[in-house]
Amino acid sequence: MFDVLSVGLSDVRHLYRSTLVCSTHSRSASVASWIIDDRLSLAAVVETWHDGHDSPGLIACTPSGYSYIEKARPRMSRDLTTNHGGVCLFYRSLLNARNIHLSDYSSMEYVCAMIHGSGVKVLVIAVYRPPSSAIGKFLDDFSDVLERTTHYSSVVIVGDLNLHLDVKDDLGVMKFESLLVANNYVQHVSVATHVGGHLLDVVLTQGDLPALSTNVSQPGGLSHHHSMIVCQLNISAQDHHATVVQYRRNWRSFDLDAFRADIASSQLVQSSTLDNVDELFTVAAH
């Protein structure tokens, strides 16, 4: 049973090429070590440059006891150096994951999965917005994502949006933040996540799924340009309905004599000193 859901985010640009050319002891091994060392329940990775579910880079990234759901960017040529993009969500194998298709979006790449098991039930979306996509179109697409997921009780959205979210007077940033407010989302990353000094990455949750901690590494390292982010989510804080147990008689085999005997031996009859029947029912009501 989980009480804390640990979610990681990393941009691992050129994963596909580094795995094939530099051996599995390069970036893929580092990704696997990061997932294990930080004991991540979920790990979102963007800019993977992979081609499909059986890509060697993804397989090499996957630690023992983990599985993944991925979405590759369609390759436009045979040149292995041109397939930028790609999104993957790694998850512990003791969790169940169901891939969910929301819609086709031209401004961003995403993986959406319903994660459940061991007390967890949450919709997780990993997003990557290429810098070349129009901000206006992305905001329309992102708004559509939020609208399509309103009926889910718990949602986590992580990813690299390539928006300078630290520039608060930017029109695109202002529109993005208004979407978050209107849909009751909280951004848990508040410091620079890129070597250029800007905040580009997000860990978003609905307001009723609080974060216990958010750790942001120095930009660089594994992803060269971005930070690695680990967020601990307090899933035990979600509202759970109390179980109510009720006992009822089987009316199809109702035994009138047994019912009379139960009434006669009940606490209401045995302990009451009142003589008025109406008063007895008044006592029972209280």
Tens-digit pLDDT profile for residues 93-146: 999 999 999 999 999 999 999 999 878 899 999 999 999 999 999 999 999 999
Closest-CA residue to 12 (of 52, 50, 39, 38): 50
- Domain contains 246: no
pLDDT at 208 over 80: no
Answer yes or no: do 145 and 195 share one domain.
Answer: yes
Reported as a pLDDT band with limits 50, 70 and 90, residue 11 is confident
- 7-16, 188-197, 241-250: which has the minimum mean pLDDT? 241-250
Return the pLDDT at 164: 96
Query: Tokens 């978050």 — which residue?
Result: 180
The residue range of the domain holding 179 is: 4-237
Residues 118 and 53 both lie in one domain: yes
Q: What distance in Å separates the CA atoms of residue 107 and residue 68, rounded to the nearest whole number?
A: 23
Residue 220 lies in a domain: yes
Percent of the chain with pLDDT over 70: 77
198 and 281 share one domain: no
257 and 228 part of one domain: no
**Residue 109: inside a domain, yes or no?**
yes
Same domain, 205 and 264: no
- Strand locations in 129-176 (E): 155-160
User: Region 237-250: what's the mean pLDDT?
Assistant: 53
34 domain-assigned:
yes
How far apart are alpha carbons 251 and 13 in whole angstroms? 67
Positive or negative CA dihedral for 143, 144, 150, 153? negative
> Total structural domains in the chain?
2
d(Cα 181, Cα 164) in Å, to the nearest integer? Answer: 18
Query: Is residue 179 a part of any domain in this protein?
Result: yes
Please check whether residues 15 and 38 belong to one and the same domain.
yes
Residue 25 has pLDDT above 50, yes or no: no
Mean of the per-residue pLDDT values of the chain: 81
Whether 242 is covered by a domain: the verdict is: no
Q: Which is more confident, 20 or 249? A: 249
d(CA 182, CA 15): 36
Residues contacting 222, CB < 8 A, separation 6+? 10, 12, 27, 30, 31, 34, 228
269 shares a domain with 210: no
Contact 102, 112 (CB under 8 A): yes
Confidence of residue 76 (pLDDT cuts 50, 70, 90): low
Mean pLDDT of 2-24: 57
User: Which one, of 140, 61, 148, lies nearest residue 112 by Cα?
Assistant: 148
Q: Are residues 199 and 92 in the same domain?
A: yes
Whether residue 160 contacts residue 200, with contact meaning beta carbons closer than 8 Å, is answered with yes
